Amino acid sequence: MEFIDTHQHLILRDRLGYGWTAQIPALATGDFGLADYHALVAGRGITGTVFMETGVDDADYRAEARLVAGLIGAGGMLGQIASCRPGEAGFAGWMDEAAGLGTVGFRRILHVVPDDVSQTAAFRADLRAIGRAGLSFDMCFLARQLGLARDLARACDDQVLVLDHCGVPDIAGGAFDTWAAGITALADLPHVVCKLSGITAYCAPGTATVALLRQWVDHVLASFGPDRVLWGGDWPVVNLGSGLPGWIDMSRELLAGLSEAERFAVAQGTARRVYRLG
């Protein structure tokens, strides 16, 4: 099983600001660059990557995309999901520029802004512009916000939307039922797909195992179906859970019961379709 990693972050502190890492000791210092990533995945079946915007400081989000554009094509990087600010001045101009930067989709992290940001008419109008351009939008919501995600998806029903990190379930707290209901409701919308990523970081420290994750992953697969699930590594944030090599190994085990075609869909087929990777 060879994976396309659709959620590859980089932290390059000498060029960009990452204020969000300051309170996370494992990520607060040092760089996390391409050489580090490739050393971790060597021989582990990563056949390509898609860079995911890393939540840089607001002043730097365009600089990040411009910097990453120069890395695409090297070391298996197939494209980037660039940060954007739907509903804010200058959005259309940024979309036009980003089209020339190897952009295969956009994201705005929505759990770090007020809940009503994604509910405004201006935000949704700009989101639909992304869809008209044939690009996907990655939705980053917490489990408590899955209703907001569904409202947004219903308002933008003619484009592909990707729910990152399985909707950020509270695995450590065992809060399965409410999260599962939200996932089921979102999966009823055929233009929404789910990214299998990040979830080991939501386990209590040192507890992430295949046995613990099984019911959460199985619910995602049963709700969306493998053709609407894609895989991501979420490095280096995954270091807060299993680490990237551990997550790759767990993913193989968690997907082992699927058919060959279904495993291919999750590992890379859905990603190729959603992000137009060929």
Q: What angle do CA 36, 37, 38 make, to 5 degrees?
A: 95
Mean per-residue pLDDT for 262-277?
A: 98
> Contact, 263 vs 231, CB < 8 A?
no
Percent of the chain whose pLDDT exceeds 70: 100
Q: What angle do CA 241, 143, 217 make, to 5 degrees?
A: 55
Which tens digits make up the pLDDT trace of 108-156?
A: 999 999 999 999 999 999 999 999 999 999 999 999 999 999 999 999 9
Which tens digits make up the pLDDT trace of 213-238?
A: 999 999 999 999 999 999 999 999 99
Q: How many domains does the chain have?
A: 1
Q: In this structure, what CATH number is given to the domain that contains residue 225?
A: 3.20.20.140
Question: How many CA atoms does the CB half-sphere of 271 hold within 13 Å?
Answer: 28
Q: Which amino acid is at 132?
A: R
For 229, other C-beta atoms within 10 Å of its C-beta total: 27
pLDDT above 90 for 204: yes
- Predicted confidence band at 164 (pLDDT cuts at 50, 70, 90)? very high
* Angle between the N-to-C axes of helices 121-132 and 91-98, in degrees from 0 to 180, rounded to the nearest 10: 20
65 contact partners, CB below 8 Å, separation of at least 6 = 53, 80, 82, 83, 98, 101, 103
Task: Say which DSSP state 135 is in.
Answer: -
Can you give the pLDDT at residue 75? 85
Percent of the chain whose pLDDT exceeds 90: 99
Which tens digits make up the pLDDT trace of 5-15?
A: 999 999 999 99
Answer positive or negative: Cα dihedral of 92, 276, 238, 148. positive
Range of the domain at 230: 3-274
Nearest CA-CA partner of 130 in 166, 111, 156: 156
For 110, other C-beta atoms within 10 Å of its C-beta total: 22
Q: Tell how many helices (H) and how many strands (E) occur in the chain.
A: 10, 8
Classify burial at 96, counting beta carbons within 10 Å of its beta carbon; exposed 0-12, middle 13-18, buried 19 or more. exposed
Cα 158 to its chain centre, rounded Å, is 20
Which tens digits make up the pLDDT trace of 19-54?
A: 999 999 999 999 999 999 999 999 999 999 999 999
Nearest CA-CA partner of 193 in 220, 217, 162: 162
Which tens digits make up the pLDDT trace of 84-94?
A: 999 999 999 99
Q: How many whole angstroms separate alpha carbon 178 and alpha carbon 183?
A: 9
Q: How many whole angstroms separate alpha carbon 194 and alpha carbon 270?
A: 10
- DSSP H or E stretch at residue 34: helix 34-41
- Predicted confidence band at 278 (pLDDT cuts at 50, 70, 90)? confident
Can you give the pLDDT at residue 78? 98
Average pLDDT score over the chain: 97
- Predicted confidence band at 244 (pLDDT cuts at 50, 70, 90)? very high
- Predicted confidence band at 74 (pLDDT cuts at 50, 70, 90)? confident
Q: How many whole angstroms separate alpha carbon 227 and alpha carbon 47?
A: 19
Mean per-residue pLDDT for 172-176?
A: 97
| Distances 3 to 22, 117, 233, 262 between C-alpha atoms, Å | 31, 34, 9, 13
